[in-house]
Structure 1
Amino acid sequence: MKSTVTIKDVARELGIHHVTVSRALRDTGSVKEETKTLIKQKANELGYKPNRLAQNFRNKRSNVLAVVVPDLRPYFFAKFVSDFMETAQEAGYSVMIFQSGEKPGVEKEIVDSLIGYRVTGVVASVTKDTIHDSHFDVLKDENIPYVFFDRAPEQTEASQVLVNNFQGAYNAVTAMIKSGKNRIAYISTHYKHQIFRDRLAGYKKALEDHNLPCLEEMVVEGGFFMKDGFAHAERLMNLEEKPDGILAVRDEIGIGVIKYLKKKGVRVPEDVAVIGFDNDPMGVACEPELTTVQQSIPSMVAGSFELLLTQIQSNSLSFEKKVIEPKIIYRGSA
């Protein structure tokens, strides 16, 4: 097996001191340009690769940012990670991605491990069960900036970029009411994080402001996926007084609702309007296409990176909260 090429190997090949090689490869110190070029050519020829982790320990900080998310499968998180990586790389940073799997214990292990990687900053969206941010204190102790996005612990003093989930749900219900719907159901999740409570509160307030009752049987909770939307739609459409509008807590659930309604010959949106949440690309693959509440991922990425970069450049932790207003993307289902 071929051994790893080191700085000393490069130095030995050229007959110069390894310190000179190190300075040339890191573009630091006074090394003549012709010598620097020669060193880089030889390093490339030998297949030298820098030991980033070792460099991080020597320098006590790297140019690496970490992104921590609960799940990479949903479109929202996958798109955020992709866009954030692009933004960070354009600014000269590398990015490490971590997934907690919606498990607070795993999330804590990830945060603890970030100290060893000597990351420069962290953006994180916490698990559905993370209430306190005490396990992020290890970052604070090391003066490593961190910003929460989308989901933040309910008790935190860290910077955060959040969506106005209350307003998003309120606007969606109001839109259905204005189109003539007056028995609007809500398919939520059993998760109790603040963002889901805010969406439920927005749903209820819109009904209240338009003098419509909020009926217990019209609010259902359960899983997070298409099959759950299908099952919940079946439950709602078996009620004696059926809904004529359904708001789903996320698009994948809304697509499941449409699949059930079409299977039963229910017209969408004429008989039942459907609106989802997240602007998942899958929403345009169903028929009719899903009307959705869009959370601006570009705005969330830009806000998160800006807050993080400000702390990195000032070398100080701070608290700032950015709230992004959602908007409805009208398609065929409402």
Structure 2
Amino acid sequence: MVNKSKVTINDIAKAVNVTAATVSRALNNNPRISEATRKAVQKAAKELNYQPNNIAAALRHGKSHLIGVIVPRADRAFFSSVIRGIEEIANEINYKVIICQTYEDLEKEAQTIETLVNARVDGIIASISKNTIDFSHYQSAIDKGFPVVLFDRTSDQVTVNQVVIDDYYGAYEITKHLIDQGSKSIAYLTSPIKINIYKDRLRGYMDCLADHNIDYDERLVVESNLQLQDGRQSMEKLLSGQRTPDAVFSASDYGIMGALQVLKERGIRIPEDIALAGFGNEPFTSFTDPTLTTVDQLSITMGRVTAELFFDQLKGSKKKHHEPHKTMLKPGIIVRQSSLKKGLNQENSPISEEYKELP
């Protein structure tokens, strides 16, 4: 009896009474193999529980048709939508995606990259964890010839292709919207993590204030991890401070959701007393009461663009010199009830209640 845990193409060849070379061709749908032989081989492979050695195949053919996608958390709507966009492109050319999560842990991120390299994936698409300050694990994969593309959370410390949204623009425009609605004391919930997206969003907020002759007040800027509970604590801190804001903008929808909960519990009117705006367009933002104004990160589009860039790089991977570049997508602003102090004038407002990509 064949040991099913170690079935090889030689075992299939004996079962079908053909050569091992014929089995290999049949399993790879070689047109030289007849339909009858192909079906017989596939039937025997299934009955024997044959599992192909993808690593060995990758070494032989130079391609595994697998790509590793690394995200901080796959249960976040943004990252799951990016993965969907990546898979849409990958599936069109018969590539499979291995999804890995780092849970914002640097060591796990490094281990994941090592595992993907050892599994002989054709390349890696990743969004770095909040705690990544050392990029030697990415550089190691690059030095071994693996294409790497970063999206959303990127860093200039590693020289690779990147796909991002214009975080500066999104933060600037949503701050401007709050100012246009009459807000003059705008608080900002940010992250202490010094990755590009948070630095750019803070710059957008600060520059918009300056351009509208509003003084920057560090008392109105609260740093946290921008999760739901952080948003609650940040809002409590702002309400107990020396200067109460008339609007709050958060670099994360989760942070602004926490702020909304506190304001409702205290009976503070939204947006009449304090207007709210977030960043990310998480699904829950359209179901809250009031609904939340936010920045749309174009997640599915980002996934598709990232995958297209990755496969373009993969096609040209034999070139000796590759000049990485950053692809920047312009985000949309979605205005909802939480920020409309003046109400929405469809004729005069540059932003509509529905998604609109600003010029």
TM-score range, shorter chain: over 0.9
Match of 2:346 in 1: none
Instruction: Pick one of 173, 179, 184 that aligns with 2:175.
Output: 173
Residue 333 of structure 1 is matched in structure 2 by: 338
Deviations 1:45-85 (A, max 9, x none): 44433232332243343000111122334322232223322
Question: 1: CA distance between counterparts of 2:199 and 2:110?
Answer: 24
**Could you tell me which amino acid in structure 2 is paired with residue 202 of structure 1?**
G
Distance 1:129 1:46, change over 3 A: closer
TM-superposed deviation, 1:119: 0.8
* 5+ long unaligned stretches in structure 1: none
Is the CA contact (8 Å cut-off) linking 1:132 and 1:154 kept in structure 2? no
1:52 aligns with 2:54: yes
User: Which amino acid in structure 2 is aligned with residue 320 of structure 1?
Assistant: H
C-alpha deviation, 1:195, in angstroms = 1.1
C-alpha separation in 1, matches of 2:85 and 2:304: 9
Structure 2 match to 1:21:
23
Counterpart contact for 2:231–2:258, Cα < 8 Å: yes
Distance in 2 between the 1:61 and 1:82 partners? 23
**In the alignment, residue 325 of structure 2 is paired with which amino acid?**
E
1:56-135 correspondence runs (5 A): 56-131=58-133, 133-135=135-137
Aligned twin of 1:10: 12
Structure 2 contact 82–301 (Cα < 8 Å) conserved? no
Aligned length: 334
Detail structure 1 runs of 4+ shifted over 4 Å in the superposition: none
CA distance in 2, matches of 1:33, 1:286: 57
1:24 and 1:194 map into 2 onto residues whose CA distance is: 49
Letter in 2 for 1:59: H
Q: Please point out which of 303, 323, 326 is paired with 1:321.
A: 326
- Cα distance between partner residues in 1 of 2:279 and 2:3: 52
Is 1:131–1:154's contact at 8 Å kept on the other side of the alignment? no
Deviation at 1:132, TM superposition (A): 5.4
For the residues of structure 1 that align with 2:160 and 2:225, how far apart are their CA atoms? 30
Q: Partner of 2:236 in structure 1? A: 234
| TM-score for the superposition, normalised by structure 1 | 0.93
| Structure 2 CA distance for aligned equivalents of residues 158 and 212 of structure 1 | 38
After TM superposition, list the pairs within 5 Å mapping 1:282-301 onto structure 2: 282-301=284-303
- How far does residue 237 in structure 1 lie from its aligned partner after superposition? 1.6
**CA–CA distance in structure 2, aligned partners of residues 27 and 18 of structure 1:** 14
What are the ranges of 5 or more consecutive residues in structure 2 without an aligned counterpart? 340-359
Q: Deviations over 1:222-261 (max 9, x none)?
A: 1221111111111112234311100011001111111111
Query: What is the CA–CA distance in structure 2 between the aligned matches of 1:267 and 1:295, rounded to whole Å?
Result: 28
Q: How high is the sequence identity, in percent, across the aligned residues?
A: 34
Contact 1:163 1:326 in 2 (8 A): yes
What amino acid does structure 2 have at the position aligned with 1:264? R
Residue type matched to 2:267 in 1? Answer: G
Secondary structure at the residue paired with 1:277?
coil
1:107 and 1:62 map into 2 onto residues whose CA distance is: 22
CA distance in 2: counterparts of 1:131 and 1:78, whole angstroms: 24
1:132 touches 1:156 (CA, 8 Å); kept in 2?
A: no
Query: What amino acid is aligned across from residue 311 of structure 1 in structure 2?
Result: Q
For the 8 Å contact 1:130–1:153, the answer to whether it is kept is no
Q: C-alpha separation between the residues in 2 aligned to 1:333 and 1:12?
A: 70
**Is the contact between residue 125 and residue 151 of structure 1 (CA under 8 Å) also seen in structure 2?**
yes
Which of 141, 144, 147 in structure 2 is aligned with 1:142? Answer: 144
User: In the alignment, residue 279 of structure 2 is paired with which amino acid?
Assistant: F
CA contact (8 A) 1:183 1:245 kept: yes
* Contact 1:228–1:253 (CA under 8 A) maintained in structure 2: yes
Q: Is the 8 A contact 1:172 1:275 kept in 2?
A: yes
Aligned residue type for 1:3: K
